[in-house]
Structure formats: C-alpha cells, structure tokens
Structure 1
Amino acid sequence: MSEGDILKREPIYQGAVIEVSVETVELPDGSQVDLEMVRHPGGAAAVALDEQERVCLLRQFRHAARGWIWELPAGRIDAGEAPGATARRELAEEAGLKADDWIDLGSMYSSPGIFDEVIHLWLGRGLSELPHEHEHGEVIEIHWMPLSQALDWCDDGTITDGKTLVGLYRTSAYLKSQAELLSEDPGC
C-alpha cells in the first residue's frame, strides 16, 4: 500500500465543478483517518506583464470573500485542456489580452488540507488586446498597475488571494533571476 491510499470513499455531493466525499485513508505512519475531501479539476492563472512592467489585475466581486478582491486572470481547467491553454483562454476571456510569450511559473495547491485543486501559474509577455466578454455571473474590473505597486499590495494585505500572491511573488523572483543572468553575462 502506498502513502495516502484511499481505503474507502463515500460520495456526498457531485456538482458541475466539484465533488465532495468522505475518504478513509491510510497515512504514512500506518494510521487511518476519515477526511472530508473536495475534488476539483484544477485551474490556471496568468500574470500579464507589459513592456513597462505593469501587471494586469482584476478587481472581482467574490461572494465567498464577501466583496471585492484583487486577482489575476484565472479559471478552471476544462476537461482535456492543458494548463497553459487554460491560462491563455482565461487571459483572453477575463482581461481581453493575448500574450505571445509564456513562462511556466510552476504550480501551487490552493488549500491542501481539504482540496486537491492545483493551480498552474504562467507569466505572459508580448501582450496585445483582444475583444472579450465576461461570462454571466462574473463582475470584473480590469486594472493595470506597476508590478512594484502590486507587490507592495501583497506585502500590506491589500491583495489576499493566494494564487495572485504566489503568481506575483514568483514573477518578481523570475525577473530578478533574469536580471542577474544578464548582469553576469560578459557580453552585455
């Protein structure tokens, strides 16, 4: 038996997006526990960064957050869709943008104590505008701000969305690593 084997699974709810169940699992120490689990197909988020190092952020109304929050363009992975394709689709749908260059920023778990959702993060550069229309039920404002200001908002608690925090911090780290590589290159 491998770590985290499901010994028993009791479905509780099957929705259009999530599945909820109680699973009896064996932990690495051999103990067994019942866990309430939410299964989700995963998602992808796009950090759209223009030539002036401004980032596209969405101010979006979220019922679960009880109001407006700042987020990256993001959404659920459709069946059979690759995470990069999801990031491209969501950037177009939510922000009306297309990126020519994409950099994989890795992935993250949104809340691994209860959800199996993995969010894949992408940096999009070489931006151009597209016509777009938000889906029914989406209340979104599109904003541009310097990446430095967005990072300040991460630090001071203005931005509270996990995928947005991780995406912006990883973008900053990526840009710093690229700048260091350029400064070390004797041909520069």
Structure 2
Amino acid sequence: MTDKETLVYRGKIIELFLEQVTLPNGAEAEFEIVRHPGGAAVVALDAENRVCLLRQYRHAVGGWLWELPAGKLDAGEPPLATAQRELQEEAGVQAVRWEPLGKIVSSPGVFTEVVHLFLARELRATPAGAEPHEVFEVHWVPFAQAVAQARSGEITDAKTLAGLFRAREWCEGK
C-alpha cells in the first residue's frame, strides 16, 4: 500500500514517483517507480511461416536490437488496437486473425509497464508509416530461425523473447 507519493518527473511517456510504502510484512520502504502506460507487441506470421522482426536502433542500450513490432498504448486505446496500429505502421501489414498470447511485465521492481502480446496471421500488405524518431529495418525471418536466435541469446529484448516462445507453444498446440 502506498502511504505517500511524490512526483519527481513527468515526461511525454513516463512519470517518475518516489513512493513511501508499507510492505505486506509491515516494513516501510521507499521506491522509485516509473509509471508507463503499457504497450503491445505482435508476433506476425506470414503464409510462409516467417515472422516479422525489426532490427531497431535503441539509444538506451547503445545499439541495435532485434524486436517484434510493438508500441505504446495511447490513452484509452485497447491493447489489440495498439497491436494492430503498430503492425501496420512498422511492418506494413494487417492481419485477419489475432490470438492473445498474454502479457508480461518488463521490470516490476521499478516499472509499471505491462506489455500485451499477440499472434497475428493471415497477413496482407498495407502502407507502412513509421514515426520519424524510429530507426529500424524490417526483416521477415523463418520462424524456426527466430526462435533459434532467441534461444542462442542473439535476441535479447524481453517482449520479443516472450512473444516468440509463447507463439511457438501456441502454434505447436494447434
């Protein structure tokens, strides 16, 4: 339970709070909490069983990462709508079939962000529309190869790892 919170910073995407809390064991602690609106990520599989991966530049980690198409939830936007919007903007495709793959929390010690994962299939091309601050390349990789990249450690992004492994399990169960 939060006893007291102090806003430290409010940005375009996140807010940083200092929170005084009483823990379930009765101890008191202070936490730095980054509040984030959450996001959605898409495992898009085409008719040839290739998955869309973005090779995206991420300044925060000092280089390029392999990631699924993904983005931030806009205010009041359902996670599926975010996933559909991001898939079109980043990969230039729309999907007919959507399956929820659950959600993940990326760093629950400090972030409130929840990322909703989806499997998209029966794809069709549509105009893409990346935002100016996004720097990425679109790659369509055989799904088995992407899972191998995840297993080997070449893919390190948490939402991408979870999405690929959950999609593999979902597909094997069908």
Taking structure 1 as the reference length, what is the TM-score of the superposition? 0.91
Instruction: Give the distance between the partners of 1:156 and 1:107, measured in 2 at CA.
Output: 23
Secondary structure, aligned partner of 2:26: coil
Q: Could you say which residue in structure 2 is the equivalent of 1:77?
A: 73
Q: Select the residue among 40, 43, 54 that pairs with 2:39.
A: 43
- Please give the root-mean-square deviation of Cα atoms over the aligned residues, in Å: 0.6
Cα drift, residue 32 of structure 1: 1.1
Residue by residue over 1:3-37, the C-alpha shift from the partner in whole angstroms, topping out at 9 and shown as x without a partner, is xx110001100111000010011111111100000
Cα drift, residue 65 of structure 1: 1.5
Counterpart residue type for residue 164 of structure 1: T
Secondary structure, aligned partner of 1:24: strand
Instruction: Give the distance between the partners of 1:153 and 1:113, measured in 2 at CA.
Output: 27
Equivalences for 1:38-117 in 2 at 5 Å?
A: 38-117=34-113
Counterpart residue type for residue 31 of structure 1: A
Unaligned runs of 5+ residues in structure 1 are 179-188
Q: Could you say which residue in structure 2 is the equivalent of 1:130?
A: 126
Count of residue pairs the alignment pairs up: 174
Secondary structure, aligned partner of 1:121: strand
Residue by residue over 1:131-175, the C-alpha shift from the partner in whole angstroms, topping out at 9 and shown as x without a partner, is 112101111100011111001100111100000000000000001
Which one has a bigger Cα radius of gyration? Answer: 1
Taking structure 2 as the reference length, what is the TM-score of the superposition? 0.99
Secondary structure, aligned partner of 1:137: coil
Q: Which runs of 4+ in 1 moved over 3 A?
A: none
Residue by residue over 1:20-56, the C-alpha shift from the partner in whole angstroms, topping out at 9 and shown as x without a partner, is 0100111111111000000000000011001221100
Unaligned runs of 5+ residues in structure 2 are none
Q: Could you say which residue in structure 2 is the equivalent of 1:184?
A: none
Q: Could you say which residue in structure 2 is the equivalent of 1:30?
A: 26
